[in-house]
Amino acid sequence: MYLTFDDGPHPQITPWVMNQLDKYGAKGTFFVVGDNAERYPELIEEITERGHSIGNHTQHHVKGWGMTDAAYIEEIKLCDKRIPENRLFRPPFGRINIKSIKQLADYEIIMWDVLSRDYLKRLDTHAAQRRIRNRTVDGSIAVFHDSEKAEKNLKMLLPNYLSFLNEQGYKMEKL
């Protein structure tokens, strides 16, 4: 299965995530915001050096609606300049508004089937724990956020989920 982390990199939270992954020999995929990548280029290097993948999550985490296709593509291209060459793209908010998907033909668009909802201010983490466990199957793509907004929930959910995945015999691979 595949663990993905959106909206970083963040100088404390992203290294914390990688340390958790290391405990289980897990690899992850980080969909970074170009703005953050620009601020913390050393983290982009560290993510790669530690064997994880990096994907594109636009330069400014744009919604896409109310914006031209050209401006949206420009957002993706800007983020590309901050990260190692790759084909992985995840649209912020999980929605693509672009008229011609052909314009994104060079990218592999990665959504998910296991949503942690770690970004919610009031999350019942016990219920969330059960939900993400139950939803996980072979090939699942789970999404978490290495962001301040999600930090508290992430720190509750991820160690427990990793231990569950490990017990169940899943291999946690990068995309």
Q: Which residues bind Zn ion (CB under 5 A)?
A: 6-7, 92
Query: Of all helices (H) and strands (E), which one includes residue 48?
Result: helix 41-49
Could you tell me the smallest distance in angstroms from the CB atom of residue 49 to Zn ion? 24
Could you tell me the smallest distance in angstroms from the CB atom of residue 167 to Zn ion? 29
Residue 81 burial by Cβ neighbours in a 10 Å radius (0-12, 13-18, 19+): exposed
Nearer to Zn ion, 97 or 166 (CB): 97
Could you tell me the smallest distance in angstroms from the CB atom of residue 18 to Zn ion? 19
Residue-wise burial string across 63-74, b where 16 or more C-beta atoms lie within 10 A, e elsewhere: ebeeeeeeebee
Question: Cβ distance 115 to 6 under 8 Å?
Answer: no
Nearer to Zn ion, 24 or 119 (CB): 119
Nearer to Zn ion, 34 or 170 (CB): 34
Could you tell me the smallest distance in angstroms from the CB atom of residue 47 to Zn ion? 16
Nearer to Zn ion, 52 or 170 (CB): 52
